[in-house]
Amino acid sequence: MQLTSEKIAIITTVIALINIFVVLSNFYKSRSKIKFHKTDTQNLFRPTRNSETIYKESKCMTFVYVSISNYSNLPITIRSFGLKGNNYSQCFYKKTTIICFDYFVIYDDSEPDQNGIYRHFYDSKVTVKKVYKNDFIDLPCTLPPYGYIEGYLLFPYGPLFSESKFDAKLCAYTTRGAFHTEITLNRSIDNQSPVIEHM
Query: What is the reported pLDDT for 48?
Result: 81
| CATH number of the 33-198 domain | 2.60.40.10
In this predicted model, which residue has the larger pLDDT, 86 or 96? 96
CB 136 within 8 A of CB 153: yes
Q: What span, in angstroms and rounded, lies between the C-alpha atoms of 44 and 62?
A: 6
Query: What is the reported pLDDT for 46?
Result: 82
Query: What is the reported pLDDT for 121?
Result: 47
Position 91 pLDDT exceeds 50 = yes
What distance, in Å, lies between the first and last C-alpha atoms of the chain?
Answer: 82
- Average pLDDT taken over every residue of the chain: 78
Q: What span, in angstroms and rounded, lies between the C-alpha atoms of 21 and 79?
A: 33
Q: What span, in angstroms and rounded, lies between the C-alpha atoms of 150 and 141?
A: 11
Question: How many other C-beta atoms are found inside a 10 Å radius of the C-beta of residue 21?
Answer: 10
Q: Where are the domains of the chain?
A: 1-30, 33-198
CB 118 within 8 A of CB 190: no
Rounded average pLDDT over 86-97: 88
CB 55 within 8 A of CB 157: yes
